[in-house]
Amino acid sequence: MRISTGTIFDLGVQSMGRQTQTLLEIQQQISANRRILVPSDDPIASARVLELTQADNLNAQYGTNAKNAGNRLGLTESVLGQAVGLLQNARELAVQAGNGSLAPDDRRSIAGSIRALREELLSLANSSDGEGNYLFSGYQTSVRPFTATPAGIQYNGDDGERLLQISSQRSIGVSASGADAFMRVRQGNGYFVVAADPDNAGSVTYTPGSVVDAIALTGNDYRIEFTVTPSPTGDIVTYDVINTTTSATVLAGQAYEPGQAIVFDGMQVVLEGTPANTDAITVTPSGRQDLFATLDRLAVALETASEGEAGRAALTNFLTDALVNLDQGIDSVTALQAVFGSRMRESENAVDGSEVAGIQYRAHISELQDLDYAKAYSDLIRAQTNLQAAQQTFVQTSRLSIFDYI
């Protein structure tokens, strides 16, 4: 084919230009340490990198949230731990107060200690975090959750649970409602409450009772009514168990034996002491107690306990109530503390998980856009060689001219 002289120059210059461009691109890649300099270098990877970067940032955010969650959970958990200790102190004091040999002054002094514990519990319940947010006021972080009123301690917060998102699918609660922690604790044994009729004249005392058959529970109110029939051989004491909700008599005319279990509708109650005629014991489904009020009532009972058999029985019953209620309090606060403990572990796991995921995201991003140095250097050398070859051949071919010989 006929080749015009211009074409020889054009093609030579063009091929050198192409080689120079390749060389420059590789040089830019090496100096930026990126394989993708502009998105069009690899459109799919570029879009993927954008998505992965968002995922990485989001993941880092979740990690930060999880750390924050861990801190807040830790704070609440430790406050709850202190509250448990405090309730245990109160329980020990209540046990101590049951010692029959105590003088009224001793009981008053115990009552004083219990009041002090109540104040301490109040200040724990009003704890706030480093930013002045109350821990136990629900959503209303700037409202003091527990305040004293003439009617007792009042809860001003709400049932809201503050949340932090620690992973794409999980928001973790980082606060507890003060009502749940301190104001809505179960009474009695958790199922039912045994109480003495306030008009009782005898010395019947009771234990908190227990559930023997959960399926048989009815949730109704009951009354164990005593009938004392005098007889020459001693008083004959019998009792009836009446379901006051349905007015049905569950057990009738049963002989009363102190210390013997009375079992009805899945419940078992053990009574001691000697009842007077028409004395009664009530059994009602377990309601809710306010731990501050429980401590208050305990203190008041210790201060005002009267002597005498009936008075002592009343105090014994009262202490039984107080102990079982404090046990419920300890259980419930401990359970809450355990929830917070496990959430702390979950948030720690989330922190670790976020770190691992972050490494993976960054590795993936790097794989997509970073440069393989070994390959880049070998490309660089090849491009250099190509350029040199193009230059040399261009010089040599363009030098050939017949005019040199004319």
CB of 184 to other proteins, least distance (A): 6
Length of the chain: 406
Interface with other proteins in residues 269-308 (CB under 8 A): 285-288
Tell me if 402 contacts other proteins by CB under 8 A. Answer: yes
Strand partners, 128: 134
Tell me if 140 contacts other proteins by CB under 8 A. Answer: yes
C-alpha neighbours within 13 Å on the C-beta side of residue 334: 11
Which residue's structure tokens are 């008009």? 199
168 DSSP assignment: T
Query: Exactly one of 168, 229, 231, 247 binds other proteins (CB under 8 A); which one?
Result: 168
C-beta of 124 vs 193, nearer to other proteins: 193
Which conformational region is residue 334 in: left (phi greater than 0), alpha (psi within -120 to 50 degrees), or beta? alpha
CB of 195 to other proteins, least distance (A): 15
Interface with other proteins in residues 65-104 (CB under 8 A): 65, 68
CB of 61 to other proteins, least distance (A): 5
Part in contact with other proteins (CB under 8 A); list of ranges 3-11, 91-99, 118-126, 197-205: 3-11
Tell me if 46 contacts other proteins by CB under 8 A. Answer: yes
Tell me if 214 contacts other proteins by CB under 8 A. Answer: no
Tell me if 386 contacts other proteins by CB under 8 A. Answer: no
C-beta of 47 vs 252, nearer to other proteins: 47
Q: Distance between CA atoms of 394 and 215, rounded to whole angstroms? A: 101
Query: Exactly one of 13, 95, 143, 236 binds other proteins (CB under 8 A); which one?
Result: 143
Tell me if 211 contacts other proteins by CB under 8 A. Answer: no
Cα first-last separation, the chain: 24
Tell me if 316 contacts other proteins by CB under 8 A. Answer: no
Q: Distance between CA atoms of 134 and 142, rounded to whole angstroms? A: 6
Which tokens is 177 given?
């409602």
Query: Exactly one of 20, 30, 41, 212 binds other proteins (CB under 8 A); which one?
Result: 41
Part in contact with other proteins (CB under 8 A); list of ranges 51-59, 260-268, 301-309, 375-383: 51-59
CA neighbor of 113 nearest in space, from 98, 91, 82: 91
Query: Exactly one of 25, 120, 158, 348 binds other proteins (CB under 8 A); which one?
Result: 158
Largest CA distance in the chain: 163
- Name, in order, each residue with C-beta under 8 angstroms of 352's C-beta and a sequence gap of 6 or more: none
Which conformational region is residue 199 in: left (phi greater than 0), alpha (psi within -120 to 50 degrees), or beta? alpha
Query: Exactly one of 20, 53, 109, 278 binds other proteins (CB under 8 A); which one?
Result: 53
Q: Distance between CA atoms of 293 and 94, rounded to whole angstroms? A: 15
Tell me if 43 contacts other proteins by CB under 8 A. Answer: yes
Three-state secondary-structure class, residue 199:
coil
Contact 141, 133 (CB under 8 A): yes
Q: Which residues bind other proteins (CB under 8 A)?
A: 1-7, 10-11, 14, 38-44, 46-51, 53-54, 57-58, 61, 64-65, 68, 131, 133, 137-143, 155, 158-165, 168, 171, 175, 179, 183-184, 219, 285-288, 401-403, 406
